[in-house]
Amino acid sequence: MTPTDLTGTERAVLIVLMAESRPVANPELAALGPALDKPGRDKLNALGLIESERVKGRYVHELTDRGWALCRDIVAAGPPPRSTGPAKTLYTVLGALGRYLQRSEVSLAELFWPAEASEAETPEAETPETETPEDRVRVAYARLTPRPGGWVRLAELRAALEDPRGDVDTALTALSRAPGVSVIPEEDQKKLTPDDRAAAVMIGDRPKHLIAIEA
């Protein structure tokens, strides 16, 4: 297993979990870095790099010992091919960090510690424990399109979610009434695959096959 076996997004997820050095729930992970969709979650778990547990309707992820070991390789590996400018900057900093760790003979686990709760943090100020199906649809959508407002097939969206079909249908119906969200039918019926037809949601009097969410 080497960093080249992972996508840039999968590497970034491991880096966030390394930096936080604690279990991180999906909504917080998406706020700190890239969102982790079902295919990515399944892959990282299958490779033994993270452990994911469903807690109160949302997934919580934590690095395994194997994940920590691969993070050390990621720190030294340099940016993935076709990296953007910000990603190259991140890996430049990680490279300097790797040189420091090598000189000081310090492990990543010794360097990164969970943040301690400040006196200002109270139970009332904590993030709510609930993540709704609508939230998960938005996160999955953001992972499937390179830009806000792009059209995503519902077949792709459903494949990236683990929620029961009825919950996703209800979420899509609710989102279709939200500002900046469009759920529409595919006008060219010849383009529809069997998966597209099976994934359609009935809103009004027509099945809908595509979704777009503006920023």
Q: What counts of helices (H) and strands (E) characterise the chain?
A: 10, 8
- The pLDDT tens digits along the chain (215 residues) read 888 899 888 999 999 999 999 999 888 888 888 888 888 999 999 999 999 998 877 889 999 999 999 999 988 888 877 778 888 898 899 889 888 888 888 888 888 888 764 433 444 444 444 578 999 999 889 888 878 899 999 999 988 888 889 999 999 999 999 999 999 999 888 889 999 999 999 998 899 999 999 97
- Say what the pTM is: 0.58
From the options 1.10.10.10, 1.10.1040.10, 3.40.1050.10, 1.20.1290.10, give the CATH code of 3-111: 1.10.10.10
* SS3 per residue for 45-99: HHCCCEEEEEECCEEEEEECHHHHHHHHHHHHHCCCCCCCHHHHHHHHHHHHHHH
Q: Where are the domains of the chain?
A: 3-111, 133-213
